[in-house]
């Protein structure tokens, strides 16, 4: 299918809308037992080849997709802090040449808090990265060992200090509801985390994802997930403590000071246009779904053969777009515009859940209440038409 048939001319007003770019670096030093992301361990990586391949995939995306200034770039993985700063700089420079940048563009890179990667932070900042998302995951050495992390608490906190010196904006991740974790233990961890002064926290309950090492352990009876009732208590505590500290939940697992929200992720959750390059990267551009080949070697083969890593490119029916808008947008505290999901919701179910205090509806918007966020998956299943 020719690009012109996939992408009709956009109205002039579209130039002001968000356009995000995601770049996937698939390599990690080791595979964490809870991780189901597209990450791979390799003995060596040909850095020159990978830089050239990512630049080629980027150029293809620019040739076929929407052309308006980028509002955000996100380097995800895998562990993109393993990328040489020169590669990051080349990709940022190429992206600016292809699309141009919004004046306040947000450029985020995910990083592991090892001393080796922290040593690259100054170079990454010089390359143009202005926000880092640091994978601390825990503030307890025993928990870090359980999670399969390569760093200890001291190394993680040293990396956090380095990141706060190098980047204008810093976020970090923590995982809670670990087996045996008490309310008191998580409260102490959370209060310590809030004391570091970052403007954004990503706080995730541990989930046992299919295909992970934790899933295999659970199947053998070697790992018992946290009690759901205690998990709910931890979730409510998390929302209360972060709100009191001035970092309220703006999404089910993300907390920020006003103005410090992840603009890139908001583009996803608001179902804006985002471009994806690199192995396994997905995109949604002007109603067209894209997906790259997932395995790094297969992606490289497609780059060499086709000049891009694309595996899927298809226009989504409007009903599918409405359903995706519903699923993504109800994660947000702000909810979603009703007009964007009118054909995707069962209004009778909305009325029932509204009467139970789980949903708030106005003529303009639909949103899940804080109490409803605990039951978000069930609510989505109930109201999706």
User: Residue 102: its pLDDT value, please?
Assistant: 96
- Assign domain 3-269 to a CATH class: alpha beta
Of 58, 74, 72, the C-alpha closest to 110 is 74
User: Residue 177: its pLDDT value, please?
Assistant: 94
How many Cα atoms occupy the beta-carbon half-sphere of 32 within 13 Å? 26
User: Residue 96: its pLDDT value, please?
Assistant: 98
Tokens of 289: 């779904």
153 backbone dihedrals φ, ψ, rounded to 5°: -60, -45
Alpha helices of 19-106 — where are they, by DSSP H? 47-64, 85-99
User: Residue 118: its pLDDT value, please?
Assistant: 83
Those residues whose C-beta lies under 8 Å from the C-beta of residue 28, and which sit 6 or more positions away, are 39, 40, 41, 77, 78, 79, 82
Cα-Cα-Cα-Cα dihedral sign, residues 255, 258, 264, 268:
positive
Residue spans per domain, the chain: 3-269, 318-385
User: Residue 11: its pLDDT value, please?
Assistant: 37
- Inter-residue contact 20 to 73 (CB < 8 Å): yes
User: Residue 16: its pLDDT value, please?
Assistant: 54
Round to whole Å and give the CA distance between 189 and 238.
11
User: Residue 8: its pLDDT value, please?
Assistant: 40
Kindly report the pTM of this predicted structure. Answer: 0.93
Tokens of 134: 């640091």
Round to whole Å and give the CA distance between 44 and 280.
20
Round to whole Å and give the CA distance between 152 and 175.
15
Low-confidence ranges of the chain (pLDDT < 70): 1-16
User: Residue 107: its pLDDT value, please?
Assistant: 98
CB atoms within 10 A of CB 266: 20
Q: List C-alpha distances in Å: 313 to 8, 18, 64.
A: 15, 21, 11
For residue range 355-368, what is the model confidence (pLDDT) as tens digits?
999 999 999 999 99
Write down the CATH number for the domain with range 318-385: 1.10.10.920
């Amino acid at each position: 299918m020719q690009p012109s048939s996939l992408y009709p001319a956009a109205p002039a007003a579209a130039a002001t809308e968000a356009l995000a770019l995601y770049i996937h670096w698939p390599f990690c030093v080791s595979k964490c037992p809870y991780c189901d992301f597209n990450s791979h361990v390799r003995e060596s990586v040909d850095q020159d080849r990978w830089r050239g391949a990512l630049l080629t995939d980027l150029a293809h995306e620019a040739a076929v997709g929407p052309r308006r200034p980028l509002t955000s770039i996100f380097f995800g993985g895998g562990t993109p802090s393993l990328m040489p700063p020169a590669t990051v700089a080349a990709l940022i420079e190429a992206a600016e040449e292809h699309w141009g940048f919004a004046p306040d563009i947000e450029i985020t890179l995910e990083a592991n808090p090892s001393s080796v990667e922290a040593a690259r932070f100054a170079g990454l900042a010089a390359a143009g990265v202005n926000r880092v998302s640091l994978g601390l995951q825990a503030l307890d050495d025993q928990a870090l060992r359980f999670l399969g992390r390569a760093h200890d608490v001291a190394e993680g906190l040293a990396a956090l200090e380095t990141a706060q010196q190098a980047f204008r904006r810093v976020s970090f991740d923590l995982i809670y509801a670990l087996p045996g974790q008490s309310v008191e233990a998580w409260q102490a961890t959370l209060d310590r985390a809030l004391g570091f002064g970052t403007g954004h926290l990503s706080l995730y309950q541990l989930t046992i994802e299919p295909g992970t090492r934790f899933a295999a352990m659970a199947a053998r009876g070697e790992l018992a997930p946290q009690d759901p009732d205690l998990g709910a208590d931890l979730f409510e505590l998390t929302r209360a403590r972060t709100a009191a500290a001035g970092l309220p939940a703006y999404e089910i697992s993300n907390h920020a000071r006003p103005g410090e929200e992840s603009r890139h992720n908001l583009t996803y959750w608001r179902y804006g246009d985002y471009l994806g390059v690199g192995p396994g990267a997905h995109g949604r551009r002007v109603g067209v779904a894209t997906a790259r080949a997932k395995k790094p070697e297969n992606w490289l083969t497609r780059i060499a053969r086709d000049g891009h890593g694309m595996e899927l490119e298809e226009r989504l029916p409007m009903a599918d777009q409405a359903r995706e808008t519903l699923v993504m947008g109800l994660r947000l505290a702000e909810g979603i515009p009703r007009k964007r999901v009118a054909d995707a919701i069962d209004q009778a179910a909305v009325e029932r859940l509204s009467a139970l205090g789980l949903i708030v509806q106005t003529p303009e918007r639909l949103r899940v209440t804080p109490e409803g966020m605990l039951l978000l998956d069930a609510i989505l299943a109930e109201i999706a038409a």
